[in-house]
Amino acid sequence: MNQPRTLYEKIWDSHVVKRRDDGTCIVFIDRHLVHEVTSPQAFEGLRAAGRPVRRPDLTLAVADHNLPTTARRDAGGNRVPIADSMSAKQLEALEANAPAFGIRYIDDAAPEQGIVHVVGPEQGFTLPGCTLVCGDSHTAAHGALGALAFGIGTSEVEHVLATQTLLLKQSKSMEVRVEGTLGFGVSPKDLVLAIVAKLGASGGTGYVVEYTGSTIRDMSIEGRLTISNMSIEAGARAGLIAPDEKTYAYLKGRPYAPTGADWDAALAWWQSLPSDQGARYDKRVALDATDIAPNVTWGTSPEDVVPITGNVPDPDSFADESKRAAAAKSLDYMGLTPGQRMQDIPVDNIFIGSCTNSRIEDLRAAAAVAKGRKIAGGIKQALVVPGSGLVKRQAEEEGLDRIFIEAGFEWREPGCSMCLGMNPDKVPPGQRCASTSNRNFVGRQGPGARTHLLSPAMAAAAAITGKLADIREMMG
């Protein structure tokens, strides 16, 4: 009898091309997403060695990190020049490299353009059971569809381009089981912040996580994408969710999804992928969804999470000495004092977007809060940046753009934007941002920027009240 296997083991086993004696395996990569920041040096390496791309047909390129979120074409259809010459150069490099190596490229003004992790699922490029990589750590997001997806460095990008494989060792496995119903005003973002807080920023290092339990099963695909996306904030390279009827319904009819007899064959295989009864995980963690409140971060690590009803912690309250030192440093950087109520913290900037929270459900949640209200006078900048041109179009069809604009938000073109400020969208030094992105690192949203991570509805609430606010009080 076959030993019960996890979803991860099934995908891993079906992708090992060759196993070396030392346990390192050549693993086949089914899908490769390429963007402009982490690929130029990889293409240069191929050129220097005279190597072609082995499977351009399994590769898809799109620019997202550098693109300004203002209009990209003028009234005459001509490109609006990118002011930052370095950003322009990276975009030009991708635009030249993709056709030179036979790779499909989504144009920066195409409706399909967007953040690479929004585009993959949206196009049906991401499929259950596939191995998918990208030179970006938030590639973990695609695990929400049951793909073994993880971020890689540029040397690995070059390795995949040249060989369509990677040299890997199997990771340990961790089950993160979440049971129960999320409360009113509590979103998948709040749950994943709770998960990161529970595991710690390095708790998932060396593991591939699988999220299980009724909360995950009951969650939409977009909610699951938010969960898997932030696996890396707990150190886990990948965060899988077993494919189910929701996954199949989401994928059916998408441009790159299989069709006809291929769809039936694919479906049969996908249905065999979920972890078997009795499958063994190296570690198991459980959370009760009913315990979770809307969460916000207070520090400079995504593990620094408190409920919105809580206070800024006292660094002395941490048992670990290095954590005490880190917390004191974080509070200094964040300009916060121990004991301060989170709901008393005023914010200057609002960012609704990023590969974590820029899909249509995120925008609907934020718009529901913004509807009929105005952003507070003290807010200096409030951006809504859809994850893709298709998300943008859908939101406009639903009138969400009007709601945001009438409330005082700016409605922008898709891209990574203020999540990491490689384009002109930055949080100015010393200013505070309520952000739906994934990282509150020192300087992440711009040098000296102070980031509080939260859900789209909570970001909208912060925009309206001018400070961090409890969405449950606002909408209750």
Partner 1 sequence: MEPFKQVEGRAYPFGRKNVDTDVIIPAEYLKTISREGLFEGAFKVVRAEEGNVFDDPEYAGAPILIAGDNFGCGSSREHAAWALNDMGIRVVVAPSFSDIFSSNAFKNGILAVELSQAAINRLMEVATTDPITVDLENQVVTTPFQDRFEFPIDAFRKSCLVAGLDEIGLTLESGEAIASYEQQVSAARPWLIKETA
* Residues in 51-110 that interact with partner 1 by CB under 8 A: 51, 54-58, 65-66, 84, 86-87, 89-90, 93, 104
Instruction: State the burial class of residue 92 (Cβ atoms within 10 Å of its Cβ: 0-12, 13-18, 19+).
Output: middle
Residue 109: closest CA among 83, 57, 70: 70
Query: 237 to 256, contacts with partner 1 by CB under 8 A?
Result: 237, 256
Query: 125 to 154, contacts with partner 1 by CB under 8 A?
Result: 125, 127, 129-130, 135-137, 139, 151-154
Phi, psi of 58 (to 5 degrees): -100, 15
Query: 418 to 437, contacts with partner 1 by CB under 8 A?
Result: 420-422
- Tell me: is residue 134 an annotated ligand-binding position: no
Cα separation, 160 vs 428, in Å, equals 38
Query: 310 to 369, contacts with partner 1 by CB under 8 A?
Result: 322-323, 326
Find residue 352's DSSP bridge partners. Answer: 384
CB of 295 to partner 1, least distance (A): 19
- Contact with partner 1 (CB under 8 A): which of 110, 111, 163, 310? 163
CB of 95 to partner 1, least distance (A): 13
Helix axes 221-229, 188-199, angle to 10 degrees: 30
**Matching residue, tokens 């070396």:** 20
Cα separation, 133 vs 97, in Å, equals 18
SS3 of 102-145: the string is: CCEEECCCCCCCECHHHHHHHCCCCCCCCEEEECCHHHHHHHHH
Cα separation, 166 vs 27, in Å, equals 5
- Tell me: is residue 130 an annotated ligand-binding position: no
CB of 106 to partner 1, least distance (A): 13
Cα separation, 381 vs 374, in Å, equals 13
Query: 434 to 473, contacts with partner 1 by CB under 8 A?
Result: 439, 441-444, 447
Nearer to partner 1, 70 or 202 (CB): 202
In this chain, which stretch among 40-48, 182-190, 284-292, 468-476 interacts with partner 1, using CB under 8 A? 40-48
Cβ neighbours around 104 below 10 Å, total: 15
Nearer to partner 1, 60 or 347 (CB): 60
Cα of 232 vs its chain's centroid, Å:
9
How many residues bind partner 1 (CB under 8 A)? The answer is 82
- Tell me: is residue 433 an annotated ligand-binding position: no
Q: Are 142 and 149 in contact (CB under 8 A)?
A: yes
Q: Report if residue 271 touches partner 1, rule: CB under 8 A.
A: no
CB of 18 to partner 1, least distance (A): 5
Nearer to partner 1, 137 or 228 (CB): 137
Nearer to partner 1, 128 or 185 (CB): 128
Query: Annotated binding site for [4Fe-4S] cluster: which residue ranges?
Result: 355, 416, 419
Which residue numbers belong to the known binding site? 355, 416, 419
